Structure 1
Amino acid sequence: MALRTRWLWFSKTDEHRAWAGLDLQFSTEEQAFFFASTHTSIGNDHNTKFWEDRWINGRSVREIAPLLHACIPKRRRKNRTVAEGLQAHLWARDIHGVLGVHEIGQYLLLWRLLEGIALSAEPDKLIWKWTEAGTYTAKYAYLASFHGSIACNHWKLTWKSWALPKVKLFLWLVSLDRCWTADRLDRHGLQHHTACPLCDQAPETMQHLLLACPFSRQVWHEILSWMRMTCRAPANDSSLLDWWLNAKQDTSQLMRKGLASATLLTSWMIWKHRNDCIFDREQPSDHALVSRIKAKAMLWATAGAAGLRVVLPTSWDVH
């Protein structure tokens, strides 16, 4: 979107581009982002659109008088420039239809705002609000798309830990509740097993499968003990990511990278074991799963997971 917005910027600021004058098509989202990111400093106003652009103290007529704006024919809104509209109050002639009390109020408001506006000999200047210089850059267009987003520490576990890309993607899906556990299958009206395939004691949700299931809790306990972790095993935490944040506080600085990789690995292996039980008719076995996790942890450490090398036993005994 940031790069597409670049085309919008140059279509309004550089008429010498080879594609200038072409009917470029932009999505509603791109146009709305550009509209929110720019305003015009008026000069001679031969290029600024009276009804569409943001030129009245950084606002557009549509923002100031939306009901009045709706009374303007679409063709007139697209073509009327500020210079034309201000000449002998020609903009007032663009209004069509019957005006109600609210429309008349907005008409008077707009009239008062336009009284103090005077054109100059300088050309119009389009200003990009996200930079001090007022000019577009792809970097700041990209950063602007994150305005209003909510910061969250969970991303560090998902994307900053040493793990295979497919394991990171799995944990990302877990955080979005997009894994096909029984509760999600039920919401979509799809065939599903009713109980957790690992413990057969409760309805399967991702929170239950990874944290509350007695089978999984035993696996967590054995793996954390084998890695000499001092944090408690997951219990009834609200989510895996919340458990990790709490466990990190109870873990020494030296072992935290290992804890993060172990969290991803153990979760991933529990999920794989669950799938083996459902699709391959394998019987749940915490002993077999723990052995697989230990073997996989050794492979990860050999492949470059420096954090895991710190927490693994010196002998690297799988059994």
Structure 2
Amino acid sequence: MATVNQACTNSIWLISRGRHPILRLLRDVLPPNLPASLNSLQDEFLWKNSPSSEAGDFSSSKTWDFLHPVGQSFNWTKPIWFKERIPRHTFILWMAMRDRLFTRDKLRSWGLNVPSSCLLCDAYPESKSHLLTDCIYSREIWTGFFRRSGLSPPVSLEEIVVWSDSLSPQRKVNTNCKILVQAIVYCLWRDRNSRLHSSNSKPPHVLSKEIQTILRAKHRHQGVIPLHLVLSFQFVISLWLVAAAIVVVAYRFFWFLVGGSFVFPLFGVF
């Protein structure tokens, strides 16, 4: 790479006479003559952190902000990404909230020749809002879970997600509700795909029982120490007891040989 000082002499540009597009562009945009004073000045490299910023020093943070602009913020982000979530459930709900699920209305908008009817009810055109909340099948799942608690969730999926995080002043109640919402959306989408690819359909009460099984397993996992940790703890305790017994036997044998007694602080007088 040549500097400006190397590319000119006596205020004349040293540019090849070739017909390459870049060379032709340089000859068109560069001024025909340069002031003689420029030859004596030292070149200085400046960096523009964005097209609208002034030239100056390089800033990695400003360059990162320009290359990765902050996206739009949503009020449903926090209710989706929480610590106790089930990852595969969270991913499907996030896809739904971003309108990334390949429902039939989206496939038809891309020009694919697929039926338009909902795979759950086969009565109305399939869309994200219909499939997950408005469908008779999915609505029976939603009301079946919340009717027992005397709750009535909102109609749209976006409102349900936000509502699940502000249901109660108790954090545990809201956490359980968010887990339930994600499990319902995940199981509805899984059952929809099962009907599409294998023609296996489940009545609403069967799908509700599967969701209940998922919730019970999640609660057991949260309330019980994992088995491998229990076994490792028991193994450490067993080693400690064996070592303590060896120490006791060794002390007893030693003081038996010398004919004395010794007060061991943990096990009494020997």
The yes-or-no answer on 1:165 pairing with 2:74 is no
Residues 140, 179 of structure 1: CA spacing in aligned structure 2 closer, same or farther, 3 A cutoff?
same
Of the three residues 198, 222, 226, the one matched with 2:120 is 198
The yes-or-no answer on 1:233 pairing with 2:150 is no
The yes-or-no answer on 1:178 pairing with 2:95 is no
SS in 1 for 2:6: helix
> Unpaired runs of 5+ in structure 2?
17-22, 51-56, 225-270
Of the three residues 228, 231, 243, the one matched with 2:160 is 243
Which has the higher mean CA deviation after the structures are superposed, 279-288 or 256-265?
279-288
SS in 2 for 1:289: helix
Q: Aligned residue for 2:193?
A: 275
Q: Aligned residue for 2:265?
A: none
Structure 2 counterpart of 1:210, one-letter code: L
Structure 2 counterpart of 1:208, one-letter code: H
**Which has more radius of gyration?**
2
SS in 2 for 1:261: helix
How far apart are the structure 2 equivalents of 1:243 and 1:91?
68
- CA deviation digits over 1:131-163, x for unaligned, max 9? xxx5676x7765553224323343334433533
Equivalent residues in 2 for 1:60-139 (5 A)? 79-85=1-7, 88-91=10-13, 96=24, 107=31, 119-120=41-42, 124=44, 129=49
Structure 1 counterpart of 2:160, one-letter code: W
Residues 221, 118 of structure 1: CA spacing in aligned structure 2 closer, same or farther, 3 A cutoff?
farther
Q: Aligned residue for 2:181?
A: 263
Structure 2 counterpart of 1:175, one-letter code: M
SS in 2 for 1:224: helix
Q: Aligned residue for 2:169?
A: 252
Q: Give the CA deviation at 1:302.
A: 1.7
Q: Aligned residue for 1:69?
A: none
Q: Aligned residue for 1:146?
A: 68
How far apart are the structure 2 equivalents of 1:117 and 1:287?
85
How far apart are the structure 1 equivalents of 2:24 and 2:99?
51
> Unpaired runs of 5+ in structure 1?
1-78, 307-319
SS in 2 for 1:192: coil
Q: Aligned residue for 1:223?
A: 145
How far apart are the structure 1 equivalents of 2:184 and 2:222?
17
SS in 2 for 1:172: helix
How does the TM-score come out when normalised to structure 1?
Answer: 0.52
Q: Give the CA deviation at 1:283.
A: 4.0
How far apart are the structure 1 equivalents of 2:165 and 2:207?
24
Q: Give the CA deviation at 1:196.
A: 1.4
Q: Aligned residue for 1:36?
A: none
Structure 2 counterpart of 1:194, one-letter code: S
Structure 1 counterpart of 2:142, one-letter code: W
SS in 1 for 2:5: helix
SS in 2 for 1:84: coil
- What is the RMSD computed on CA atoms of the aligned residues? 4.2
How far apart are the structure 1 equivalents of 2:63 and 2:95?
27
Structure 2 counterpart of 1:243, one-letter code: I
How does the TM-score come out when normalised to structure 2?
Answer: 0.60
Q: Give the CA deviation at 1:250.
A: 4.3
Structure 1 counterpart of 2:219, one-letter code: A
Contact 2:103-2:128 at 8 Å conserved across structures: yes
How many residue pairs are counted as aligned between the two chains? 212
Q: Give the CA deviation at 1:268.
A: 0.4
SS in 2 for 1:83: coil
How far apart are the structure 1 equivalents of 2:211 and 2:89?
13
- CA deviation digits over 1:70-126, x for unaligned, max 9? xxxxxxxxx441223465433496774899xxx78x959x979x9899734xx8566
Residues 256, 141 of structure 1: CA spacing in aligned structure 2 closer, same or farther, 3 A cutoff?
farther
Which has the higher mean CA deviation after the structures are superposed, 183-192 or 202-211?
183-192
Q: Give the CA deviation at 1:297.
A: 0.7
How far apart are the structure 2 equivalents of 1:180 and 1:268?
14
